[in-house]
Structure formats: structure tokens, C-alpha cells
Amino acid sequence: MRTGLMKHSQYMEFLRSVPSFKTLTEDVLSKVADVLEETHYSDGDYIIREGATGDTFFIISNGQVKVTQQKGPSEEPVFLTTLSRGDWFGEQALQGEDVRTASVTAVGDVTCLVVDRESFKQLIGGLENVGNKVYESDEVKAKVEEEAAFFSL
């Protein structure tokens, strides 16, 4: 119990420092701290595999991850970005379709705080910058599709 309480306040302190969560109330952050699961990964571990189904949201509390995406079935994965402490990922599969849009692998030792779909929806998903996150490549794709649809009318 004592350890539990210490962990809880440690999580709270960290969650308060996450820039995207700055509008969340103490009450909500406390609930997030209650439900999250701490998970550990080693260098090269897949945290998320593109194309798999998923229902978890990840906040990096330590280390670095690499995000990659395959543009076609037989193509090499393309590097998209690295994310580190205070960054989060895995929200795409929790919006609508539950398919992972990219792969995420650990670069060195990584610790993530993992939130399940239901808690995400209730506590975090309402944040504009998280729940409605659109990556530039998707935005560009949507625009191109929109234009194509317009010209085919």
C-alpha cells in the first residue's frame, strides 16, 4: 500500500509535467494514475506493430522510441519520428478503427505508462490535441483525396 501511494504521487508528478495534459484537472490526473500500467521495454522491442489491432494508449515516462511506417506492402518501413519522455502515442487505433497506423520500437531501455481504451476515452481522449490528432501525412492524404473527389464530380 505504501509503495502504491508513493507510485501514485510519482505518477501524478510526472503526468502534471506532460505538456499535452496541462488542461487536465488534478482529479482526472489522479484517475489516470490509478488505472495506468507501467511497462518496460529493451532496445529493439516492438511496442506497437503497424497493422495489428490495439486498444492501449502509451505515455513515455523514460527513454526513446522510434516511429516507422510502411508505405506499401513490400516496401521498407520509413522512419517518421522519435518520441521521448513526456510524449505519447497509440491514440490513432483508439479513434474509430482499431488498427495501428505505424510501428513503434524501443531505442534503448524504455518505460511507458499504458492506459486502456475505456479509461483513455473517459479521461484523455476528450483533449483536442490528443483525441483529434491528425498527422501531417494523413492530412496531406485527406486533402489529395478530397481534391480528387471534387474533380471527379
Residues near ligand CMP (CB under 6 A), total: 16
Q: Does 21 bind ligand CMP (CB under 6 A)?
A: no
Which span sits near ligand CMP by CB under 6 A: 13-21, 29-37, 87-95, 124-132?
87-95
Cα angle for residues 66, 70, 72 (degrees, 5° grid): 175
Main-chain dihedrals φ then ψ at residue 10, nearest 5 degrees? -65, -45
Helices in 22-135 by DSSP H: which ranges?
26-35, 117-119, 128-131
Nearer to ligand CMP by Cβ, of 11 and 89: the residue is 89
Residues 99/90, Cβ–Cβ less than 8 Å: no
Interacting stretch for ligand CMP, rule CB under 6 A, among 5-13, 33-41, 90-98, 120-128?
90-98
Cross-strand partners of 110: 41
54 contributes a contact to ligand CMP by CB under 6 A: yes
Residues that bind ligand CMP (CB under 6 A): 48, 54, 67, 80-81, 89-93, 100-102, 104, 135, 137
